[in-house]
Amino acid sequence: MIDKKLFFIAERLSQLSFDLDDNRPCTSQFIKDLPKADIHVHLPGTISTETAWELGVRNGLIKWENGRWISPPLSNGNPHKSYSEIFKNFESIRYERDPDLSLLKYAIVSRDFASFDRIMATVQGHRHPPGGIQNENDLWLVLQNYLKQCLKDNIIYTEVQQNIRIAYAIYPFLEPQEARLRLYDLFSRASQLFQSQGIYLRFLNCFNKTGSSHLQQSTQQRSEEAAHWLDEAQSCFPDLFIGLQSAGAETCPEAVPIKLTSGYRHAYDKGFGCEAHAGEGTGFLYLRQTLQALPVQRIAHGFQAIEHLPTIHEIQEKNITLVMAPAINLILGASLHQYAGLKKIGKTTIDSFDSHPFFALFRNHKLSVTLSSDNPQMGGTSLQNTMLLLSGLPTDEDLQLNCVKSSPLTLKEIIQLNIEAIVSSFSDTKTKVILLNRIFEYLSEYLSENDKRVLPALR
């Protein structure tokens, strides 16, 4: 049964949007002032180079000795010999006692997902400890800095993905369950801190579905464990962890969607939101397998659905939302495949926003789509910058990404995408109503000042 308050505010927003000119362009100021929802954010992806540096110094992974910064060797198994290797330009600042950290760049190779994944693993430190995040204070620093990013970009709601297993890295001397409970408490305090600033912060438990987790567990066991931890968190801190997510390379044999079914089914039956990464790597077939094996309400990325019309139809029929992040797709080397039947016969790199399937899936196929930042500080960019670039507008940062040239997003489309983020979020109905009312208040004020034609819809 649809909540009456949710239905009412959704109808008011729909009417307001309907009355707008379809071709009305967006402005930079509108996007910057718009209260936004970012529902797909990886917590380690919020770590800026400045924060990564601070974490390294805090934990002795970067030290000032004899007039220069040094970086001791990391543990065996870490893909980097030393922590400093995560930075592209470490050598250019290593002789400065107080370097300008804003100049630091991650050593992420263009169109190379593996380089990005290695850096994220080293900074987070959960695969080959020790890494950048070693204790509760480190994780709190990351959360505080993400709060600053949200305030800067006017994010009013965010769903952050983090593997609960990080508890074992930051509380290594506690028993496993006690460590997890301490993590829930830390995240609850973070949620309260965000709430004090007018921002709703919720979490998804994001487990690794591939062999890179280096765990002596099957994929099925990891999925079931992740789902049971949602139960555990819910019993102690209600509405803190509200959904299940899985991540990892689609090419990995352990990542076959059917192996995740039992965990996802448990989470879904218990009322948690379910999202899965799919359709961003090996092609539409993995996406289709995911749609058929898992009870998901959302797919992360999913742009390779464009390769196969029946897959698009299945997404429509199941009313699944694609949570898309075109900016990081371009940076990390997204591609589309060509087929003869079901056999791949070629692959084409997506080299611009204009050629990204986002537009066709959103406009032509009318799928439920929303935008996200994914990894706003590590390999990607903010939701605000993504909206600007897709609207054909410049950003305030040098991103080495060209904005859309042909048919940029309109004012109406930006509003629609933002509303869809809230509607398809995993938050409770009461929170959705509050958030949609904040959007309505902003739009009412903006349009009453800029467009007298929509005044009847505001009354």
* CA gap 138, 54 in Å, rounded: 9
3-state secondary structure the chain: CCCHHHHHHHHHHHHHHHCCCCCCECCHHHHHHCCEEEEEEEHHHHCCHHHHHHHHHHCCCCEEECCEEECCECCCCCCCCEHHHHECCHHHHCCCCCCCHHHCCECCCCCCHHHHHHHHHHHHCCCCCCCCCCCHHHHHHHHHHHHHHHHHHCEEEEEEEECHHHHHHHCCCCCHHHHHHHHHHHHHHHHHHHHHCCCEEEEEEEEECCHHHCCCCCHHHHHHHHHHHHHHHHHHCCCCEEEEEEECCCCCHHHCHHHHHHHHHHHHHCCCEEEEEECCCCCHHHHHHHHHHCCCCEEEECHHHHHCHHHHHHHHHCCCEEEECHHHHHHHCCEEEEEECCEEEEEEECCCCCCCCHHHHHHHCCCEEEECCECCCCCCCCHHHHHHHHCCCCCCCCCCCCCCCCCCCEHHHHHHHHHHHHHCCCCCHHHHHHHHHHHHHHHHHHHHHHCHHHHHHHC
pLDDT of residue 459: 46
Consecutive 10-residue runs of the chain (459 residues): their mean pLDDT? 83 87 94 98 98 98 97 90 97 96 94 92 88 97 98 99 96 98 99 99 96 83 98 98 96 94 99 98 97 99 98 98 98 95 94 97 98 96 98 90 96 97 98 97 90 52
- Mutual orientation of helices 49-58 and 136-153 as an angle, nearest 10°? 160
Residue bearing tokens 């006017």: 154
Q: CB of 262 within 8 A of CB of 274? A: no
CATH number of this structure's domain 4-46+154-445, picked from the four choices 3.20.20.140, 3.30.70.141, 3.40.50.300, 1.20.1070.10: 3.20.20.140
CA angle 262, 180, 182 (to 5 degrees): 155
At 47, phi and psi to the nearest 5? -80, 110
Residue bearing tokens 């990894």: 375
Rounded to the nearest angstrom, the gap between the alpha carbon of residue 251 and the centroid of all alpha carbons in its chain is 21
pLDDT tens, 81-115? Answer: 999 999 999 999 999 999 999 999 999 998 898 99
Q: CB of 208 within 8 A of CB of 248? A: yes
Cα dist from 226 to 14, 106, 260, whole Å: 37, 30, 10
pLDDT tens, 393-414? Answer: 999 887 889 999 999 999 999 9
Q: CB of 291 within 8 A of CB of 315? A: yes
Count CB neighbours of 396 within 10 A. Answer: 10
> First-to-last CA distance in the chain?
27
Q: Which of 150, 170, 172 is nearest to 160 (CA)?
A: 150
Largest CA distance in the chain: 71
Q: Which of 397, 287, 318 is nearest to 28 (CA)?
A: 397
Give the β-pairing of 63-65 and 241-247: unpaired
Before 394, cis peptide (omega within 30)? no
Two tokens at 57? 């110094």
Provide the residue count of the chain: 459
**Predicted model pTM:** 0.96
Q: Where in the chain are the domains?
A: 4-46+154-445, 47-153
